[in-house]
A and B are shown apart, each in its own frame.
Chain A
Amino acid sequence: ETGVTQTPRHLVMGMTNKKSLKCEQHLGHNAMYWYKQSAKKPLELMFVYSLEERVENNSVPSRFSPECPNSSHLFLHLHTLQPEDSALYLCASSQDYPPHTEAFFGQGTRLTVV
């Protein structure tokens, strides 16, 4: 399998639930990213990991908790989310950080908080 794979593709969760989003890249890249894409809003960078170390955390609420156990896997742990957190969550990877070449994106997880 190649590219960037995200699971699940769709997730519906209650505000008291705990769930995790998973991202896996088979490209041998050193950097991985989480983005949030809400309707009618620009793409928002949430977290960046380079060589498994977090290098960017863009004022994201603590109810979102990232984890990067190795350079191929990235998780986003979710707990006590709010309805406004409903969005498409995109994972991406790039060869290096800072990025000199393009980002490769996964298909996204469509999250609905009820």
Chain B
Amino acid sequence: AQSVTQLGSHVSVSEGALVLLRCNYSSSVPPYLFWYVQYPNQGLQLLLKYTSAATLVKGINGFEAEFKKSETSFHLTKPSAHMSDAAEYFCALSSNTGNQFYFGTGTSLTVIP
């Protein structure tokens, strides 16, 4: 079975502080992992993806994530939060044997000025 768990449905950070959004996955085969961002009443936009190349993946808007197989994690980070980062973030998984994308339940990020 494949699944994604996002720890913390709501995260608040101060502007300029580190952003850390947690994602753990379960997969019996090598996974492909993704982070998406969603602004209100918009679709999901890809931030970054891991597809078995480098374990540290850099994405758009200064975000990056590190694939850690030993911890089955793919946490999303950004060194310095900006007000425009306030949004909903989704971690997702697929694989060569799966038949769909598996999404986490989302983490709502609030940035405090």
Contacts and interface: CB of A to CB of B under 8 A. Distances in A.
Given A99-B100, A105-B43, A108-B43, 5 more contacts: A33-B101, A48-B99, A102-B49, A103-B44, A106-B43
Nearest to B41: A110
Interface residues of A, number: 26
A92 B101 CA distance: 11
Interface of B: 32, 34, 36, 41-46, 49, 51, 90, 92, 94-101, 103-106
A87 B45 CA distance: 19
Nearest to B94: A99
A51 B93 CA distance: 22
A98 B94 contact: yes
B99 A105 contact: no
A11 interface: no
A43 B94 contact: no
A104 B89 CA distance: 15
Contacts of A100: 32, 51, 94, 96
Nearest to B92: A103
A4 B32 contact: no
Contact of B44 (A42, A45, A90, A110): A90
